[in-house]
Chains A and B, each alone.
Chain A
């Protein structure tokens, strides 16, 4: 068919006609065409340079040998090297010495606070004061003692965690497992209330004292002061993990407790665990001062 040209614009028409109206056959603007072909050229170039398509036994690796996995490993290693340099003090100095160094806190506290909020705050709270089921970290009452190396060890292996060297502490379910009859449990509850001088039934507490000695003092020690060896909390301070009311103590005796602190070695580096240990010590001191 012979091309037909519009008389006014001189442009070629499509050759179709609708009731006397004809459509101009206007080509795509040249700028778009250049863009289109340039895009195709870039795609082809990237195909050659970068890993692109699987083959039967391997894949096309591209000519510049790029691998996103190698690249990220390098970037992470570089970041680790920078941190190692900035934080050498934590890996090269004894923990006890670090804990006594007054200059570190001002210098590193803000950095470590980020680490704390990222990993610890969901349970222990942004203010480190804990919440039900999750202990307060700044009240200077410790389950496994407040010695820096003991805190660090807890962070590494956890408590009742899946780590092979985990610390282990379990409050048995005296009620549910029928280890003690209900009336003896309520006597023990009265005794525990009496330790702190809360409102209690004195006669029941007297009976509970003896029962406590037989059943509980192995971990919680005589008088319920707790023990760092067993990780059993003191019942003679005003700090409670699971609540200190009559009902809450009875519930603890009924169903038992075995709080889990996850193990962080493997997830966090040794240096990071040490930094968090110091952070707890610093925050505890500030809390004590205020």
Chain B
């Protein structure tokens, strides 16, 4: 038996183990060094606003990813139902991404602007009231919980450390900007545009203008999903590779 030689030679065996184990590392880690090749160059992507990011944190906290994917695969059935397949670029500011691997509910990668805020609020509070036969749990407490904005500067700073291009100004004023985005009067709409670009919605998302709640944040997040990249202006050659 050939392996008898290896088994009787400790150092050679250790080196062989090292060689084989590092192959696994090579195949997992090496692609990360060239990740820029994978991420498409598209117009429109921007980092999350503080309010959207707070909503995203709630999405993660409540474990929405356990039942909802955010990844439209390159399959005809997926594209026909949910829209253009997801691009790597659309997840480039996600740490961690919310691709998910299980669809008890539908994919949410392009749910933004598909339904009204009112529907999202009604549906999150009591899913079966609006969708017959739904198995989604209700999240009525989101409407009653004031959004904690204190940690938002820290969240932005952490993402900046992970490579998301937040500016110092965005980080410093994160809590203020979260409140401003949910302002029913949209008084500071243009200041937000200056900071985050014009492709963002400033309004009262949860139907309660007196308070910025967790519901405001999660609806703001859901309503922007998949709305950033303009697929009409995209170079299909570049994307289809």
Residues of A at the B interface (CB closer than 8 Å) are 12, 25, 27, 53-59, 67-73, 75-76, 79, 118-119, 122-123, 126, 131, 133-134, 161-162, 176, 259-263, 267
Contact = CB atoms under 8 A, between A and B. Distances in A.
A79 B76 contact: yes
A67 B117 contact: no
Interface stretch (B77-85, B92-100, B151-159): B77-85
A263 B76 CA distance: 24
A57 B76 CA distance: 30
B80 A53 contact: no
A98 B20 CA distance: 68
A212 B38 CA distance: 62
B104 interface: no
A134 B30 contact: no
B240 A69 contact: yes
Interface in B81-116: 81, 83, 85, 113-116
Contacts of B233: none
Nearest 9 CB-CB pairings of A with B: A260-B116, A75-B76, A72-B74, A54-B34, A68-B74, A69-B240, A70-B240, A54-B31, A76-B79
Nearest to A69: B240
Point out which of A25, A75, A176, A261 has the most chain B C-beta atoms below 10 A from its C-beta.
Answer: A75
B79 A72 contact: yes
A131 B130 contact: yes
Interface stretch (B42-50, B55-63, B118-126, B137-145): B118-126
B76 A122 contact: no
Interface residues of B, number: 34
Given A69-B239, A71-B74, A133-B122, A79 B80 contact: yes
Given A69-B239, A76-B80, A259 B116 contact: yes
A122 B31 contact: no
Contact of B1 (A25, A53, A72, A261): A25
A126 B81 CA distance: 18
Given A54-B30, A70-B240, 18 more contacts: A12-B1, A25-B1, A58-B37, A59-B34, A71-B74, A72-B76, A73-B240, A118-B81, A119-B114, A122-B119, A122-B131, A123-B116, A126-B132, A131-B129, A162-B113, A259-B116, A260-B118, A267-B114
Given A69-B241, A118-B81, A267-B83, A56 B34 contact: yes
Interface string B219-241: 00000000000000000100111
Nearest to A73: B240
B11 interface: no
Nearest to A57: B37
A162 B201 contact: yes
A56 B33 CA distance: 8
21 contacts: A12-B1, A53-B27, A54-B38, A59-B37, A68-B74, A69-B241, A72-B74, A72-B75, A73-B236, A76-B79, A119-B114, A122-B130, A122-B131, A123-B115, A123-B130, A126-B132, A134-B118, A161-B113, A162-B113, A260-B117, A267-B83
A75 B76 CA distance: 6
A27 B117 CA distance: 66
A245 B37 CA distance: 61
Contacts of A58: 37
Nearest to B116: A260
Instruction: Select the residue from A27, A57, A58, A73 with max chain B CB neighbours within 10 A.
Output: A73
Contacts of A176: 209
A75 B79 CA distance: 10
Contacts of B34: 54-56, 59
Nearest to B79: A76
Given A56-B34, A76-B80, A123 B119 contact: yes
Contacts of A53: 27, 30-31
B241 A67 contact: yes
A12 B3 CA distance: 14
Given A54-B30, A72-B74, A72-B75, A122 B115 contact: yes
B241 to A, nearest CB: 6
Contacts of B240: 67, 69-70, 73
B76 A76 contact: yes
A72 B116 contact: no
Contacts of A123: 115-116, 119, 130
